[in-house]
Amino acid sequence: MRKTKHTATPSLTCTTRFRVRFSEVDSMHIVWHGNYALYIEDGREAFGCQYPGLGYGDIRASGYGAPIVDMQVQFRGPLRLGDEAVIETRYIDTDAAKICFEYEISRPDGTPVATAGTVQVFTDCRGELELVSPAFYLEWKRRWGVK
């Protein structure tokens, strides 16, 4: 995973728990790697609920989209049917017009399962890339003490 230089800004994190379902495991009885994208999405969605104003509905209501343009996942250990896991979603501040998150997926005892990172950019209602952070995003940062 690309290392991000952390600044002195407060760390906004959200912790979400989940249990591995039958539909998420492969023929080897471990979580199929593609499902980690869904777990990451669950973490991002929970983050948007915990820190209102940055959820997908909020972004859309502000007239923007925020597609993912980069995602990396590093696997550290398997999850199996019925396992419980925890995903910590951490907002990474940047001056660029994008939203960056890092994720740590672990077992409840802290044993690492995967680490990940995503980058989202802003698009206008026509799907055109925004090169400057939208006003609603700057306000969200101020509200949560990021800027």
pLDDT single digits (tens) 31-52 = 999 999 999 999 999 999 999 9
Average pLDDT over residues 52-56: 94
How far apart are the C-alpha atoms of 140 and 138, rounded to whole Å? 5
pLDDT band at 19 (very low <50, low <70, confident <90, very high): very high
Q: How far from the centroid of its chain's Cα atoms is residue 105's Cα?
A: 11
Quick one: pLDDT at residue 9?
52
The pLDDT assigned to 7 comes to 44
Q: How confident is the model at residue 4 (pLDDT cuts 50, 70, 90)?
A: very low
Catalytic residues: 26
pTM for the full predicted model: 0.90
CB 40 within 8 A of CB 71: yes
3-class SS at 25? Answer: strand
Please, what are the domains in the chain? Answer: 13-139 (3.10.129.10)
